[in-house]
Structure 1
Amino acid sequence: MFYYSDTVHTLATQMEELNKLIWLMIFESYGLGEKFESLMINYKTLVRMMKYMAPPPGEYESGLFAHTEKPVSTVICEDQVSGLEIEVKDGQWIKLSNLSPSSFVFVVGDPLKAWSNGRLKAVNHRVMMSGDKDRYSIAAFAIPGEGTIIKAPKELIDEQHPQLYKDFNFMDFFRFAFSDRAKNIESGQQLHAFASLSPPISD
């Protein structure tokens, strides 16, 4: 048990470091690298290990329903059993397959989309299972603490890029996304329903 726990802790720490590195790359791409420490959203990492059971022989079934991420961002480590799919702009679903054992998937969440003033896209994704093997994955979710405000930096707002979303409390949005009020709203439209200052924009 000790070795197992130590291995999981090490992997979780490395996934958190990877998440911060990607955030830094995002900041630098927008010319905000020098303001990384002051503008970075403070968060804690929640690690979850997941098992998806193989479907009955010859069947193709959902392991995880289609959704956009509600944490700020998520880093996923997959095993060699494919199943993760992303929805592209024309509505088609593309399977992420043949990933190497050292590959990680970085997923932009709705709050990071709002922070970027719509520049980053929160992709709709799901897990679809086929074949005779169970699927395992581990995910590191970046979840801000109570009272954290999600707001686009002023550097990302101008005449060509008007502010798309109001400033909002992360936990208020997180609770809304899993509330009865949001259950009939498509996952990818929940951010718009909660915080939009403009008509819906197609990703």
Structure 2
Amino acid sequence: MKTIFIIGDDKVGRQAAAELNVPDAIWLNRSVGSKRVWRLIRSGAIKLPDVLAIALADIRRPNLAAPVLPIIQSNADVLELIKAEVPDRIICYRAGLVLTRRVLDQPVQFLNVHCADLPKYGGLGTLHRALRDKAFAQNACLHEITTVIDGGRVLHKEPYHLSPTRSFRLNEDVAYAAGRKILNDIASGHITP
């Protein structure tokens, strides 16, 4: 089964890409920019204080050099990838690209790794919501991608625990480590969705 990983080109995504031992199967996603973040704040999809906390955590996170990998920036790029590579499945991690119906109608299994428990903590700003709710027992989830963001059937959960005494960044690191474990388990064949 041919698997392609589409991973967000940020510090967290680059760490995941560096750990995956399948460099020929990784594409970096660069579809998210500051304009999109501001649109998400204005629409209420994420709160400004949450964005600021996420940004501060990211500033404090070590920066790995971006691996030299092919780039995905749009749904058209995903369609070209499918045409060229003919994968059986595409797995996204921090990709930030909302796949269109046209892409999802392709004969490919589309999966996503979301680093908070689904369905309750889907979307953006999920770790802030979980911490505010004192929902410390969490799961990174491998789920099917549908037209509803984080709405697809969950296929695997990797448990982890948030802590109210840990900094937000360290809580994020724990959540992202659980997500990377799912990616690595797929790449090594330990998880077969």
Report the TM-score range of the alignment, normalised by the length of the smaller protein. Answer: 0.3 to 0.5
- TM score, norm. by length of structure 2: 0.36
Larger strand fraction of residues: 1
- TM score, norm. by length of structure 1: 0.34
**Structure with more relative contact order (C-alpha pairs < 8 Å, separation 6 or more):** 1
Larger radius of gyration: 1
